[in-house]
């Protein structure tokens, strides 16, 4: 098969595709239309790709990035492994995601290289995996690489037997010996591993069996532990105090990830203890992150992480989950401290998400890339977000450009490849004195300049946007919008949240199964634990904010599926995958937090909330079994479970249930009570607002918390309850706030 008789040239070292596959390619090509642009350097004179592989049939943006590599890529599935068994070849899997900078580097250096592609195609079965769509596969083989190398990351490259057992792996590999200073490059590694696979099959089998057994043993666990207590909480805080960067905030060293210091957990600890050094850690970290280059000072929103210890030079991709979690952290900081600058960051994050990361149907896209195209036609990381003095002056004029350069510290030596990353070093007061302008004048100039620069930036080649919609990440952002809508009293934020929730429930929830990913008009992959857990948490937030019982009903229904299809009823906790999902080497129970909280952390927190809202003891029983499994083992490192510690904090607190009863037809009269709730940091509470005589229609549950609650003297009335026991109702705002401010210290271990 040659270019003269088909549009699909034979991949180097591979056999020609059969007619059935060619027909599928033709159908997809027709569907994508003339506007489709292949992402490859291997192009014909008419702009079409020379090479096409099976990833062309996929909808994942990451897989489509590799659809025209000369590598004979397969998607993960039975076809690839059956072919490997038939041909007696090792399997090479490469895992990444669409906005991964080093994934792009390895693609350009190795997977676009015809010599390397020819060797892969002649000796391996190659599989590309989008980690965001298949976190189960990614997690298992990441565990394998961490066991082999002591660390992991993306791109994740792993060699397997045809039985899916790993025997070797690593992360990024330069293409050839000597590249980037390495002794052995990717091509030499491919040759060496293939030689071992063919010549020493017994050694490969032994290694793969041992590694697979190690992975299985790391995920097994019998629950014979006691309930954890305050010692887990205090041990984690001591860890963070010891690792804290006193100068820059966050954890000492580089790179710096915003998730490495769990701000929400520390604020909960501060609420219970009042320890000033803990609040200092949180405030310094929040301030340094929001004034550094990690934060997009011009367009809003946070980048993935800082490559240095100063939060200055970021890895420029933007992830939906980072911005959802950081919006929540800054909301908590705003409630605890009242700092207006934290509220501003929340508004700017959510404005960025609304403008740049929201689909026409209201759901949220996944990420934007670190790289963008320069005027010279080169893909460069960070170009889109950085500036030169000439560019600033051309857009703003000399006077305003000088103000912006002073405000964002863009004088002196450029801080990123001859360009400037905007960041703040001085306070507004210091800058005002320096410029001999009032703070109001400076703020007005900066606001105008930001609008001009955003418009100018958007005329550049935009970073690639990954437009797949993930249930889990949407759950996190729905929570961010919902909580911001309530705390900041912004109805438009709540509408954004409800639109996204409606999309997820209508497009990704089918026949009592939640699906993971939506792209190309199709829901794909059975949902994972985090998809259910994060969405349930978001629905509970929507219920408490809108008091529309449909959200509570849906949350209960999704939890019933979790209980039936994911929960370990013997040992506690939840498996990562549905019982009907593909069987892999092992069925993991994720508990460690990474860039996002573990699914078990959020699921356990949801169980406590459901117990409070419904009064059903079975939720609490399930929670206790799970928390014993994950935190009851005295050998575990509590700081690795910071989000789960939030659930433990909830459990160890005398959490309050608040019911506000409005006179019939006058629900708006409870607003003064809601304003008091907004002004107080109440993480371990539930809130329900009803009109007198209102009932929630929830199957098999009548929400006993609202039973017999009335509006005294036809006035809005507050009921504050603790563990099912209620104080006397009150119509007095001062008395209500006094009750909310009662803090229960952590119980003694022997109490």
The whole-number pLDDT of residue 260 equals 82
C-beta atoms surrounding 697 within 10 Å: 11
SS3 sequence of 677-697: HHCCCCCCEEEEEEECCCCCC
Alpha helices in 408-548 (DSSP H): 428-435, 439-457, 471-487, 491-507, 529-546
Which pLDDT band, with edges at 50, 70 and 90, does 734 fall under? Answer: very high
Chain Cα centroid distance, residue 711: 42
Which pLDDT band, with edges at 50, 70 and 90, does 318 fall under? Answer: very high
CA distances from 433 to 341, 356, 409, 422 (A): 20, 35, 15, 20
Q: What phi and psi values does residue 340 have, to the nearest 5 degrees?
A: -65, -30
The contacts found for 334-341 with CB under 8 angstroms, 24 or more apart, are: 334/487, 335/487, 335/678, 335/679, 335/680, 335/681, 336/267, 336/270, 336/271, 336/279, 336/282, 336/681, 337/279, 337/283, 339/283, 341/287, 341/290
pTM of the shown model:
0.94
The CA distance from 219 to 495, in Å, is 40
Q: Is the peptide bond before 155 cis (omega within 30 degrees of 0)?
A: yes
The contacts found for 623-628 with CB under 8 angstroms, 24 or more apart, are: 623/647, 623/651, 624/227, 624/651, 625/223, 625/571, 625/572, 625/573, 626/572, 626/573, 626/574, 626/600, 627/227, 627/228, 627/572, 627/651, 628/223, 628/225, 628/226, 628/227, 628/228, 628/572
The whole-number pLDDT of residue 323 equals 98
| Average pLDDT value for residue range 143-153 | 89
What percentage of the chain carries pLDDT values higher than 90?
A: 85
pLDDT of residue 750 exceeding 70: no
- The single-letter DSSP state of residue 134 is -
The CA distance from 202 to 739, in Å, is 70
The whole-number pLDDT of residue 4 equals 37
The H or E element containing residue 241 is: helix 230-243
Strands 91-96 and 125-130: parallel
CATH architecture entry for 656-740: 3-Layer(aba) Sandwich (3.40)
The whole-number pLDDT of residue 749 equals 67
DSSP β-bridge partners for residue 416: 419
Q: What is the pLDDT of residues 409-439, one digit of tens each?
A: 999 999 999 999 999 999 999 999 999 999 9
Closest C-alpha among 672, 650, 680, 686 to residue 730? 672
3-state secondary structure of 306: strand
CA distances from 317 to 125, 380, 597 (A): 31, 12, 20
pLDDT of residue 5 exceeding 60: no
| Average pLDDT value for residue range 162-191 | 96
CATH architecture entry for 19-219: 3-Layer(aba) Sandwich (3.40)
- Contacts of residue 687, defined as CB under 8 A and 6 or more positions apart, other chains included, come to 544, 658, 660, 677
The CA distance from 173 to 166, in Å, is 18
3-state secondary structure of 614: helix
Burial label, 607 (beta-carbon count in 10 A; 0-12, 13-18, 19+): buried
- Contacts of residue 174, defined as CB under 8 A and 6 or more positions apart, other chains included, come to 109, 180, 182, 185, 186
Q: Which two tokens stand for residue 579?
A: 């019982």
Sign of CA dihedral 389, 392, 398, 400: negative
SS3 sequence of 707-741: CCCCCHHHCCEEEEEECCEECCCECCHHHHHHHHC
* Block residue for tokens 């170009």: 383
Q: What is the pLDDT of residues 584-601, one digit of tens each?
A: 999 999 999 989 999 999
Q: What is the pLDDT of residues 696-729, one digit of tens each?
A: 666 556 677 888 889 999 999 999 998 767 888 9
Which pLDDT band, with edges at 50, 70 and 90, does 1 fall under? Answer: very low
The CA distance from 632 to 494, in Å, is 38
Q: Which two tokens stand for residue 339?
A: 């700092």
The CA distance from 249 to 596, in Å, is 20
199 neighbors 712 (Cβ within 8 angstroms): no
Q: What is the pLDDT of residues 215-247, one digit of tens each?
A: 888 766 677 799 999 999 999 999 999 999 999
Alpha helices in 547-689 (DSSP H): 549-565, 599-614, 617-631, 642-652, 671-678
Closest C-alpha among 663, 558, 677, 665 to residue 606? 558
| Average pLDDT value for residue range 87-100 | 96
2 neighbors 10 (Cβ within 8 angstroms): yes
- Contacts of residue 14, defined as CB under 8 A and 6 or more positions apart, other chains included, come to 72, 121, 122
Q: What is the pLDDT of residues 637-669, one digit of tens each?
A: 888 899 999 999 999 998 999 999 999 888 899
Average pLDDT, the chain: 94
410 neighbors 396 (Cβ within 8 angstroms): no
Q: Which residue would you say has higher pLDDT here, 213 or 701? A: 213
* Block residue for tokens 């003269």: 4
The whole-number pLDDT of residue 27 equals 93
∠ CA 274-277-280, nearest 5°, is: 105
* Block residue for tokens 């909310």: 740
The CA distance from 262 to 269, in Å, is 11
3-state secondary structure of 319: strand
Q: What is the pLDDT of residues 515-542, one digit of tens each?
A: 999 998 999 999 999 999 999 999 999 9
47: phi > 0 → left, psi -120 to 50 → alpha, else beta; which? left
Q: What is the pLDDT of residues 616-630, one digit of tens each?
A: 999 999 999 999 999
Tell me if domain 19-219 and domain 656-740 are identical in fold: yes
The whole-number pLDDT of residue 720 equals 95
The CA distance from 320 to 316, in Å, is 13
Four-point Cα dihedral 175, 148, 235, 593, nearest 10: 60
Closest C-alpha among 465, 466, 552 to residue 501? 552
Q: Where are the domains of the chain?
A: 19-219, 371-462, 656-740
| Average pLDDT value for residue range 117-133 | 97
Which pLDDT band, with edges at 50, 70 and 90, does 2 fall under? Answer: very low
Q: What is the pLDDT of residues 22-42, one digit of tens each?
A: 999 999 999 998 888 899 999
The CA distance from 264 to 232, in Å, is 16
Which pLDDT band, with edges at 50, 70 and 90, does 636 fall under? Answer: confident
Which pLDDT band, with edges at 50, 70 and 90, does 693 fall under? Answer: confident
CA distances from 715 to 221, 336, 709, 711, 739 (A): 54, 30, 12, 6, 19
């Amino acid at each position: 098969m040659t270019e003269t008789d088909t549009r699909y040239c034979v991949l180097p070292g591979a056999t020609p595709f059969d007619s059935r596959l060619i027909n599928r390619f033709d159908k997809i090509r027709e569907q994508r239309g003339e506007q489709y642009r292949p992402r490859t350097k291997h192009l014909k004179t008419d702009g079409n790709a020379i090479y096409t592989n099976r990833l062309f049939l996929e909808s994942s943006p990451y897989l489509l990035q590799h659809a025209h590599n000369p590598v004979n890529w397969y998607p993960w599935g039975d076809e690839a492994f059956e072919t490997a068994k038939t041909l007696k070849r090792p399997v090479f899997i490469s895992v990444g995601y669409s906005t991964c900078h080093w994934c792009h580097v390895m693609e350009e250096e190795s997977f676009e290289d015809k010599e390397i592609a020819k060797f892969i195609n002649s000796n391996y079965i190659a599989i590309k995996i989008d980690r965001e769509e298949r976190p189960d596969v990614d997690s298992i083989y990441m565990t394998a690489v961490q066991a082999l190398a002591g660390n992991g990351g993306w791109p994740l490259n792993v060699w397997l037997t045809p039985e899916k057992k790993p025997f070797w792996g690593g992360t990024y590999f330069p293409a050839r010996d000597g590249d980037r200073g390495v002794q052995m490059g990717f091509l030499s590694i491919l040759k060496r591993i293939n030689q071992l696979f063919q010549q020493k099959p017994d050694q490969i089998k032994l290694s793969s069996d041992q590694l697979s057994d190690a992975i299985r043993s790391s995920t097994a666990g019998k629950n014979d532990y006691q309930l954890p207590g305050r010692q887990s909480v205090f041990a984690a805080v001591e860890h963070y105090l010891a690792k804290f960067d006193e100068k820059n905030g966050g954890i000492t060293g580089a790179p710096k990830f915003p998730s490495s210091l769990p701000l929400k957990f520390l604020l909960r600890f501060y609420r219970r203890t009042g320890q000033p050094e803990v609040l200092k850690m949180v405030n310094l970290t929040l301030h340094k992150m929001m004034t550094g280059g990690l934060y997009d000072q011009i367009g809003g929103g946070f980048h993935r992480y800082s490559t240095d210890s100063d939060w200055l030079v970021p890895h420029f991709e933007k992830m939906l989950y980072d911005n959802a979690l950081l919006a929540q952290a800054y909301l908590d900081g705003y409630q605890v401290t009242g700092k207006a600058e934290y509220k501003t960051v929340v508004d700017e994050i959510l404005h960025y998400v609304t403008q740049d990361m929201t689909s026409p149907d209201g759901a949220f896209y996944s990420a934007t890339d670190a790289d963008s195209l320069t005027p010279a036609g080169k893909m460069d990381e960070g170009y889109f977000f950085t500036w030169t003095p000439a560019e600033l002056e051309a857009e703003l004029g000399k006077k305003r450009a000088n103000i912006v350069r002073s405000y964002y510290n863009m004088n002196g030596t450029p801080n990123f490849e001859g360009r400037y990353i905007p960041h703040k070093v001085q306070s507004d007061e210091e800058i005002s004195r320096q410029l001999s302008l009032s703070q109001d004048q400076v703020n007005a100039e900066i606001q105008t300049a930001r609008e001009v620069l955003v418009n100018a930036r958007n005329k550049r080649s935009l970073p690639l946007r990954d437009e797949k919609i993930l249930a889990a990440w949407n759950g996190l952002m729905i929570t961010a919008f919902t909580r911001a809508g309530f705390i900041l009293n912004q109805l438009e934020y709540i509408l954004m949240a409800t639109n996204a929730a409606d999309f997820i429930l209508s497009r990704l929830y089918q026949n009592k199964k939640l699906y993971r990913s939506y792209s190309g008009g199709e829901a794909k992959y059975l949902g994972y634990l985090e998809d259910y857990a994060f969405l349930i948490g978001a629905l509970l937030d929507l219920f408490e904010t809108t008091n529309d019982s449909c959200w509570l009903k849906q949350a209960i229904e999704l939890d019933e599926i979790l209980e039936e299809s994911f929960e370990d009823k013997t040992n506690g906790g939840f498996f990562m995958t549905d019982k009907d999902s593909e069987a892999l080497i092992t069925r993991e129970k994720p508990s460690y937090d990474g860039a996002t909280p573990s699914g078990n952390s959020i699921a356990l927190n949801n169980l406590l909330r459901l117990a409070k809202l419904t009064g059903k003891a079975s939720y609490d029983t399930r929670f206790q079994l799970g928390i014993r499994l994950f935190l009851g083992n005295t050998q575990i490192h509590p700081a690795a479970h910071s989000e789960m510690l939030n659930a433990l904090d909830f459990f160890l607190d005398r959490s309050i249930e608040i019911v506000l009863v409005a006179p019939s037809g006058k629900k708006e009269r409870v607003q003064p009570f809601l304003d008091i709730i907004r002004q107080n940091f109440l993480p371990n509470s539930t809130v329900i607002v009803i009109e007198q005589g209102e009932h929630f229609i929830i199957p098999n549950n009548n929400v006993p918390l609202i039973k017999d609650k009335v509006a005294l003297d036809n006035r809005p009335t507050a009921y504050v309850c603790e563990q099912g026991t209620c104080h006397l109702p009150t119509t007095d705002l001062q008395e209500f706030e006094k009750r909310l401010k009662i803090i229960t210290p952590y119980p003694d271990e022997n109490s």
